[in-house]
Chain A
Amino acid sequence: MSPNHSFELCLRMGDNGLILGQRLAEWCGHGPILEQDIALTNISLDLIGQARLWLSLAGQIEGQGRDEDKLAYFRDANEFRHLNLCEQPNGHWGTTILRQFLFDAFHLPLLEQISKFDDPQLASIAQKCVKEVRYHLRWSSEWAVRLGDGTEESHEKMQQALADVWPFAGEAILANAFDLELAEINPAYNIQMVNKAWWSTVNDVFNQANLEVPAANWAPQKGREGIHTERLGFILAEMQFLPRAYPDAQW
């Protein structure tokens, strides 16, 4: 793997965590009950912690003096490499759960692959993340089942929310040019296997949750190439305002 490949992969992983973590943080203080408010902010903090590791490494590989904060706060929308699924709005509780579940079901098998890479830095970050993400998937699966297979009203809301987030999930499991190139030079990286694992988790949980896979096609999304939806600008405006207005601000 060339430094360029590692850099790109770190940005993808880091940006997924950063943007989804930022989205989840919007729930802080607004969770349906105190316990779930904490559960969701725990996940948010896990993801932001992971983003720090990936982005620090990205900056180190790039070697141009950009640290995690520079990368998080001083890049513009078209330089972000996350899946557009991550930036979709929180909607109601069920929307947040399903967005999280569709992401976790992809995130875990991908991290499991990276944790077996020859590159010790990439592998060790992934090994740390795997433990956190196993719990994320368990948590989001359980809620998907609870609400999907709950009351008539909760089922209806979940099926509706699924229709909203489903089209964005395709980007996670379909290979783009970078994925194919990376797979060629690093056989441990295989997006088809992630795709398979994703479908197996999704089918299994939807089966228990009594949720139907929507008939809609995948929306063609290119977040990984820096083409994002209109949502990202608002997230960055909020997230990046302070360090841009006060570049020397310290905690």
Chain B
Amino acid sequence: MNSKNWPLFEVFIRSKNGLSHKHVGSLHAADPAMALENARDVYCRRNEGVSIWVVPSDHITASDPGDAEELYEPARDKIYRHPTFYTIPDEIGHM
């Protein structure tokens, strides 16, 4: 980060109560308070949400796309981990 750019923040928006916050993009701001207002101005212009989270981008630790093989592929053939093999008693109905 050079001194000319403000830090980057990631923006998460809850579209309505009951749903979880979803990543919608990023923006620059001098501090968290400004990031919140910028998020409101940039990402909530079309009735997108009811709640905003902003997180400094450098506080997010992301997985390396290069590690995808070892991280995700092993799970692909473990279909028995999906709870589709249980028989559900009729009395339960739809879960």
- Select B28's contact among A33, A42, A135, A138, beta carbons within 8 Å: A33
Q: Does B37 contact A38, Cβ atoms closer than 8 Å?
A: no
B28 touches A38 (CB 8 A): no
Quote the shortest CB–CB distance from A184 to chain B (angstroms). Answer: 41
A213 within 8 A of B: no
Q: Which of B1-37 contact A (CB under 8 A)?
A: 6, 27-30, 33-34, 37
- Contact A142–B37 (Cβ < 8 Å): yes
In the bound complex, CA of A139 to CA of B39 (Å): 13
- Which A residues lie within 8 Å of B41 (CB)? 35, 38-39, 42
In the assembly, what is the distance between CA of A34 and CA of B33, in Å? 17
Complex CA distance for A38 and B45, rounded to whole angstroms: 10
Number of A-B contacts (CB under 8 A): 29
Chain A: residues with Cβ within 8 Å of the partner, total of: 12
Q: Once the chains bind, are A33 and B37 in contact (CB under 8 Å)?
A: no
Q: Does the CB pair B29–A35 fall under 8 Å?
A: yes
Question: For the complex, what is the distance from the CA of A35 to the CA of B30, rounded to whole Å?
Answer: 11
- Most chain A CB neighbours (cut-off 10 Å) among B6, B30, B40, B42: B42
Between B29, B40, B41, the greatest number of chain A beta carbons within 10 A of the residue's beta carbon is seen for: B41
Residue of B nearest to A139 (CB): B37
Q: Can you list the 4 inter-chain pairs with the closest CB atoms, starting with the nearest?
A: A35-B38, A39-B41, A38-B41, A38-B42
Distance of A97 from chain B, by nearest CB (Å)? 13
In the assembly, what is the distance between CA of A135 and CA of B29, in Å?
18
A–B complex contacts, Cβ < 8 Å, 10 sampled: A33-B28, A35-B41, A35-B42, A36-B38, A38-B42, A39-B38, A42-B41, A139-B37, A142-B34, A146-B34
- Assess whether A39 is in contact with B30, with CB atoms less than 8 Å apart: no
- State which residues 25-58 of A face B: CB under 8 Å: 33-36, 38-39, 42
Best-surrounded residue of B27, B29, B30, B37 (most CB of chain A within 10 A): B37
Query: Are A39 and B37 within 8 A (Cβ)?
Result: yes
In the complex formed, the residue of A with least CB distance to B33 is A142
| Docked pose: A250 CA to B41 CA in angstroms | 29
Of all chain B residues, the one with the shortest Cβ separation from A150 is B30
Q: What is the CA–CA distance of A138 and B38 in the complex, to the nearest angstrom? A: 13
Q: Are A42 and B45 in contact (CB under 8 A)?
A: yes
Q: Name the CB-closest residue of A to B39.
A: A35
Residues of chain B lying within 8 A (CB to CB) of residue A38: 41-42, 45
The CA-CA distance from A36 to B38 in the complex, in Å, is 7
Q: How far is the CA of A135 from the CA of B37 in the complex (A)?
A: 10
Measured between beta carbons, the chain A residues less than 8 angstroms from B45 are 38, 42
